[in-house]
Structure 1
Amino acid sequence: MIVRAAIPLLVEIGPSVTTLQIARAAGISEPTIFRAFEDKNEVLAACLAEVTDPHHTVRELAAIEPSLPLRDRLVALIEVLRAQAERTGAVVNAVSLAGAARPRRQESLSDEERRRLSDGRTASYRSLHAAVVATFETGADTLRGSPEDAATLVLAIVMALGRGGGWDAGPASVSTDGLADLLLHGLAA
């Protein structure tokens, strides 16, 4: 409840969000936060863990109606992935600017920590990939390649746009509809 209330505030306000604002959004008193968390940094770390867990995104992708036309399913899945990327980026940025829950540099991690981190990322990607594949299974015969190949391509492009700020880059910005049309029809007329 606290983390769910804090995430939209981190996205909207950034690192200057206060525990009082979080408490009000959660409908609790501020001291209640400190019964669950040691301090604001611990709340921010929990928010970071929550937004980087793909389970919400997987659930949203699974809710895309399979009977929709391919273009509509593609637009819906791009919107889900885009919203998740924007939310995650905003929270990571806010947590980083707050100086909280900062991950250690890769070089300072033990081999075991590096392996666990890599395994976690791989598992997250696989669950997202499987959910995207499922959106392409209906009407798979209309695709040039397999649903797996389509999912890999869509995830690669959406993730790259999310990292590079291409969604909202002024004159170089990319719209969801524009990306869906490009993926469906290519560049050629």
Structure 2
Amino acid sequence: MTPEDRRAAIIAATLPLLRAEGLHVSSKRIAECAGVAEGTIFRAFPDKAALISATLSHAFDPAPTIESIKAVAGDPDLRFRLKTAVRILTRRFRDNAPLMMSLRSSGLAVVTTAPVFDPREALTGISDAVAELIADDADSFRLPPQTVASLLISMVFFNNRSEILPEDQIVDVVLDGVLSPEAKKEPAC
């Protein structure tokens, strides 16, 4: 295995541990789950903080989410595209929520050797991908695609925390609002 493949395998084994056990998981536990000797970890990474930093950078990397959203761009059905985007975003937020909570509560200083994670930049990239996904339908909206994308992402994020709506209804609320079809009808004169 190349050094880069070894690093990737260790990161892949570390990520579910960080989600399940938090940032204070032991290097011994990581080595067990990675199927390597503990010393192998420290030949691949200078220290545990560098491993955690690389794993967090991998988890928060927006590129796979953006690629998944862009993969449905060719479908002509707007609702299908948006419902697929909602599933992708929901999975990302659910997967990373334990990491965010762990980061907030740990007090652990993570020294980064990986690219620095900028949540605003990541969110902007994801929002741009959703806006691009619906750009061809811009004439159908009262609002610009970027605003619709931001509303959708906000609803997915908030819904992930409180589960107010079933996942498949988020798109309906964004596109149709909260009025029932009967309430939208003009009253007879």
TM-score class, shorter-chain normalisation, is 0.7 to 0.9
Q: CA deviation at 1:186?
A: 1.1
CA RMSD in angstroms, aligned pairs only? 2.8
- Secondary structure of the residue that 2:168 maps to in structure 1? helix
Contact kept, 8 Å, 2:70 with 2:129, in 1: the verdict is yes
1:13-162 matched pairs, under 5 angstroms: 13-15=21-23, 17-101=25-109, 120-162=118-160
Considering only CA atoms, is the larger Rg found in Structure 1 or Structure 2? 2
Contact kept, 8 Å, 1:95 with 1:102, in 2: the verdict is no
For the residues of structure 2 that align with 1:131 and 1:76, how far apart are their CA atoms? 13
Alignment length (residue pairs) = 168
Q: CA deviation at 1:73?
A: 1.2
For the residues of structure 1 that align with 2:138 and 2:25, how far apart are their CA atoms? 45
Q: 2:172 aligns with which of 157, 181, 189?
A: 181
Q: Which amino acid aligns with 1:183?
A: V
Aligned to 2:183: none
- Secondary structure of the residue that 2:56 maps to in structure 1? helix
Contact kept, 8 Å, 2:15 with 2:55, in 1: the verdict is yes
TM-score under structure 2 length normalisation: 0.72
TM-score under structure 1 length normalisation: 0.72
For the residues of structure 1 that align with 2:36 and 2:76, how far apart are their CA atoms? 41
Q: Which runs of 5+ in 1 are unaligned?
A: 104-116, 168-172
Q: Which amino acid aligns with 2:130?
A: V
Q: Which runs of 5+ in 2 are unaligned?
A: 1-7, 181-189
Q: CA deviation at 1:132?
A: 0.8
Q: CA deviation at 1:158?
A: 2.5
For the residues of structure 2 that align with 1:120 and 1:99, how far apart are their CA atoms? 19
Identity across matched positions, percent: 27
Q: Give every structure 1 segment of 4 or more consecutive aligned residues whose post-TM-superposition deviation is greater than 6 Å.
A: none
Q: Which amino acid aligns with 1:94?
A: S
